[in-house]
Structure 1
């Protein structure tokens, strides 16, 4: 039993401690075979050891992911926070900044939309930056181009209104549908449609895609809270907790 426990301890150590030193090469073939059998037998009798090792590994991987995300956010801070063209809403002087990479055709972006708005309105001291990140096909791209073109033609206030309308749009995002939407908002739909071909529209989308690649973002929504990156939908209560942590209130 002593040899059995010892072998299992070595197995757990190998799985959970990079600095563990064990020279298996010094063993004879018979010793290696015995060693393997002892480890196998112990793990079959005590599978919780494997779960413990897996838990330690997952924790380490999660910690490393957080550290990697923080480094990526720091290295791309200017592009995230001050690109000169992304839509900024909420309090422009807020003490907490949230960046959201969004696709207008993304179901989870739409689910998050009212909750993000509620957070910003209730808090009153959050700066929210939207990054156009169309990745879900032609209608996503058309929607983002139309939104950016609205900004070029009619300014940021109209852009913010258009963003809200596009997040709530349930019809197919064809140019005809978008033109009617702009007309209903009292905007110049013809001018906006023409501006969709402006090289500036393509530049902004290309830069956002390059930024997303640099941050290893592959889906929407993706949030950046301060130096923390959160991939996927986040309920409002969880967002509030993150904001409190950033302020040192948690």
Structure 2
């Protein structure tokens, strides 16, 4: 990886490598999973990361970091659990589906490295404190779209790879919706939990580690001024 140029805080090789990854992943995902798959939080984070890489704007990367750092930890934990035969919540069961090619499943390993990339970017660019509310508004909107407009958990579709229960708005089991509370109550509880359990703690940590306060307006320090005296005075 080459160092960033004087005018860039992020390496060009990183920008190109990431763009090439998305150039492969996006059409493959679209062909296999359909367009609604890109409404998952993690896929939105991929797009925000791309925007931030090329523009070097802090807000998109900060939003993605607030939204997915902790959820990706749970994704990795669930994957490792499934790998050793311990069923946690099943969100990574698709990674062990023999009906999906190894290449297709391998692309999903971005869940493991994307958090580290985002931390690197936020460290380089700084953390934008507006990210908490910007991502919360976006994340909650995605939840509402998934709940009201997209297939619910347990929906049988002609292509089993097409996602249902996007962003887990009907529970963590895609095969059936949760039944321990009314669906609207669960949706509200889930949206609140996303904010309180995932977004808010991440925001505080990132703000503490990488937050940059706005620079105060420059003030002219009072300096004694020399007064030119006429010659011969």
TM-based fold match above 0.5: no
TM-score under structure 1 normalisation? Answer: 0.25
Which structure shows the bigger proportion of residues in strand conformation?
1
